[in-house]
């Protein structure tokens, strides 16, 4: 008699192809005789309509409902170079398997990679949690987690150097240094967003460094362009605001390395207010002027500009406006690059099914 093995058990001896059988609402597997070893292909190497076994990280799982009130999940499976987001409907066996899995779980799947009018999707036939024995087939959890191409240690060191260069004589300097030092270990691996931009290990640090450099360039431009108005823009406030604008994200996400899941406090409060709280906690005992601290807090809570984006207030100062546009520029550039990397069409323009919401012209060889 051929044993039937639960999806969370072994994937079948020797990774042979199995026939999927429904049983009490669960996915089980049965080994047919005389079959060949299944091919394992990295997710990012799958061609449209190709079926294969693959390893993937369940990066995101969001429970939502249809207009009729039926529950379903939005899930994101990914490796280091490709993410695929798609719905899992409640009337499928896969729904019951996904329901039992936590975001951040490494899985082995048998799936077909599809390109649909709604974007890339996976048609999952089998799924289970990875096991130690999967290392024999090339499984390495770090290959499923994308990371910044820039050394996190070098980025953190550069951020420190910029703080010293531009804030050394400011009362904001010890505040910024204290916050960076206190949250260093988290900053080294935290993502900047769940799916829009810099959604990989050290993405938050990369984004923060980039926003700081853009903000400094804007300050220097306007100081040189309009020297008679240079005093209208505070360099220390802009640099401090740029470095701390997203600091609340150290609390907004779960603590797992590279996690794309929001923590409870992150979901309920949001990173802008959490960032303001971090500044207030760090400012205790420091000799900061009340007006300067309030202005810095305003830059943080207003950097997203719009209420439906998470801003408590719109930017109401020159410094807040500069930080907002530096942040927006870097985030949008990240969104464009994400869209280009995920688009599987061969057209000059991407699909309109992306985080921007309309087709984008792909980079052209000149």
- Domain membership flag for residue 119: yes
How far apart, in whole angstroms, are the C-alpha atoms of residue 340 and residue 31? 40
Same-domain status, 168 and 37? no
- CATH number of the domain to which 212 belongs: 1.10.3210
Q: pLDDT tens digits for 104-124?
A: 899 999 999 999 888 899 999
Q: pLDDT tens digits for 46-91?
A: 999 999 999 999 988 999 999 999 999 999 999 988 889 999 999 9
Asked if pLDDT for residue 4 goes beyond 60, the answer is no
Q: Which domain holds residue 164?
A: 152-342
Asked if pLDDT for residue 10 goes beyond 90, the answer is no
Residue 258 CB: number of other CB atoms within 10 A?
A: 23
Asked if residues 323 and 241 have their Cβ atoms less than 8 Å apart, the reply is yes
Same-domain status, 173 and 71? no
- 213 CB burial (10 A radius; 0-12, 13-18, 19+): middle
Q: At what angle do helices 290-302 and 271-283 cross, to 10 degrees?
A: 160
Closest of 119, 125, 99 to residue 342, by C-alpha: 119
Into how many domains does the chain fold?
A: 2
Same-domain status, 121 and 195? no
- Domain membership flag for residue 363: no
Percentage of the chain modeled with pLDDT above 70: 88
Asked if residues 361 and 348 have their Cβ atoms less than 8 Å apart, the reply is yes
How far apart, in whole angstroms, are the C-alpha atoms of residue 214 and residue 353? 29
Give how far Cα 95 sits from Cα of 28, 107, 125, 147, Å.
14, 15, 12, 29
Closest of 243, 234, 266 to residue 253, by C-alpha: 266
The runs of H, that is alpha helices, within 72-201 are 93-99, 152-167, 172-182, 184-187
How far apart, in whole angstroms, are the C-alpha atoms of residue 315 and residue 299? 7
**Type and span of the H or E element at 303:** none
Same-domain status, 37 and 56? yes
- Domain membership flag for residue 26: yes
- CATH number of the domain to which 72 belongs: 2.40.50.140
Same-domain status, 127 and 52? yes
Same-domain status, 204 and 224? yes
- Domain membership flag for residue 353: no
Asked if pLDDT for residue 5 goes beyond 50, the answer is no
SS3 of residue 82 by DSSP: coil
Same-domain status, 198 and 335? yes
- Domain membership flag for residue 359: no
Same-domain status, 121 and 193? no
Beta strands in the chain (DSSP E): 5-6, 19-23, 26-30, 51-65, 71-78, 83-89, 105-116, 119-129
Asked if residues 351 and 119 have their Cβ atoms less than 8 Å apart, the reply is yes
- Domain membership flag for residue 116: yes
How high is the pLDDT of residue 258? 61
286-325 burial: b if 16+ Cβ within 10 Å, else e:
eebeeebbebbbbbbbbbbbeeeebbeeebebbbbbbbbb
Q: pLDDT tens digits for 124-161?
A: 999 999 999 999 999 988 888 888 999 999 999 999 99
- Domain membership flag for residue 276: yes
Same-domain status, 86 and 166? no
Same-domain status, 126 and 13? yes
């Amino acid at each position: 008699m051929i044993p039937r093995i639960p999806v969370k058990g072994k994937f079948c001896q020797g990774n042979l192809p199995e026939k999927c059988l429904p049983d009490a609402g669960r996915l089980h597997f049965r080994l047919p005789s005389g079959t060949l070893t299944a091919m394992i292909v990295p997710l990012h190497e799958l061609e449209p309509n190709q079926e294969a076994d693959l390893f993937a990280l369940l990066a995101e799982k969001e429970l939502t409902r249809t207009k009729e009130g039926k529950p379903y999940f939005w899930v994101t499976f990914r490796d280091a170079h490709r993410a695929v987001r798609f719905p899992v409907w409640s009337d499928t066996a896969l729904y019951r398997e996904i329901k039992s899995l936590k975001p951040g779980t490494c899985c082995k799947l048998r799936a077909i990679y599809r390109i649909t009018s709604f974007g890339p999707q996976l048609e999952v036939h089998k799924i289970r949690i990875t096991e130690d024995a999967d290392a024999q087939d090339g499984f390495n959890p770090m290959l499923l987690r994308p990371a910044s191409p820039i050394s996190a240690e070098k980025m953190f060191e550069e951020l420190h150097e910029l703080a010293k260069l531009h804030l050394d004589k400011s009362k904001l300097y010890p505040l910024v240094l204290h916050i960076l030092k206190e949250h260093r270990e988290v900053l080294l691996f935290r993502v900047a967003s769940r799916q829009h931009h810099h959604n990989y290990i050290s993405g938050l640090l990369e984004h923060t460094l980039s926003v700081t450099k853009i903000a400094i360039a804007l300050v220097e431009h306007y100081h040189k362009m309009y020297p008679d108005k240079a005093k209208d823009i505070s360099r220390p406030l802009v640099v401090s605001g740029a470095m701390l604008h997203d600091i609340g994200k150290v609390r907004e996400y779960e603590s797992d390395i590279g996690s794309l899941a929001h923590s409870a406090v992150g979901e309920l409060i949001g990173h802008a207010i959490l960032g303001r709280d971090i500044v207030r906690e760090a400012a205790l005992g420091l000799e900061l002027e009340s007006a300067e601290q309030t202005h810095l807090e305003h830059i943080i809570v207003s950097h997203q500009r719009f209420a439906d984006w998470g801003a408590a207030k719109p930017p109401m100062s020159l410094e807040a406006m500069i930080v907002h546009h530096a942040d927006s520029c870097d985030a949008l550039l990240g969104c464009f690059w994400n869209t280009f990397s995920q688009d599987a069409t061969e057209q000059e323009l991407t699909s309109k099914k992306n985080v921007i919401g309309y087709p984008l012209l792909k980079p052209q060889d000149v």
